[in-house]
Amino acid sequence: MQIHLAKSDISDMAVDAIVSPGNSLGIMGGGVAAVLSRRGGSMIQREAMSLAPIAVGAAVVTNAGSLWAKNVIHAPTMEEPGQKVTVENVRRATRAALLAASQRGFDVIALPGLGTGLGGADPADAARAMVNELRAHKQPHPATVWLVDLSDQILAHLEEALLTTTP
């Protein structure tokens, strides 16, 4: 698996799937999820909510509406909107997103800093958890993962995790 970092708005990524770290109810009311719903259209949230509840550690795939991406992988980091996120939830959501991408045969996905925004997870710990899960994923899909964020701090933690986590 190739892993790349990008300072970008994840909703602008032209990939097979964007990972949305929302909640188990499929409500896309804050953070990355809200941006994806606003930019891609309300049909993304409606489809996610029709597939809810989505357990933390599970993921579902919906269309991406008018986004450049083809699909959205909904990998909840919290059960209900506004809850604080643990590093274990970040790990479980990352693993679920990768498994969903693998099952669907997605070659390229974009993954934001899970749980580091509204969820309040420690960015350094979350980055290490995400990178550990990426390194542990041995399936042929996804072949490429873009770690995408607008925050220089989150990107720095992701880069540090990539440099210090053994492949």
Q: Which pLDDT score, from 0 to 100, does residue 92 have? A: 97
Please, what are the domains in the chain?
Answer: 2-164 (3.40.220.10)
- Average of pLDDT values for 24-47? 94
When the pLDDT of each residue in the chain is averaged and rounded to a whole number, the result is: 95
Count other C-beta atoms under 10 Å from residue 17's C-beta.
Answer: 26
Report the predicted TM-score, pTM, of the whole model to 2 decimal places: 0.95
pLDDT at 80 over 90: no
Give yes or no for a cis peptide into 123 (omega within 30° of 0): no
> What distance, in Å, lies between the first and last C-alpha atoms of the chain?
10
Contact between 74 and 48 (Cβ < 8 Å): yes
> pLDDT tens digits, residue range 92-151?
999 999 999 999 999 999 999 999 988 889 999 999 999 999 999 999 999 999 999 999
Contact between 165 and 124 (Cβ < 8 Å): no
Q: Specify the amino acid at residue 102.
A: S
pLDDT at 75 over 70: yes
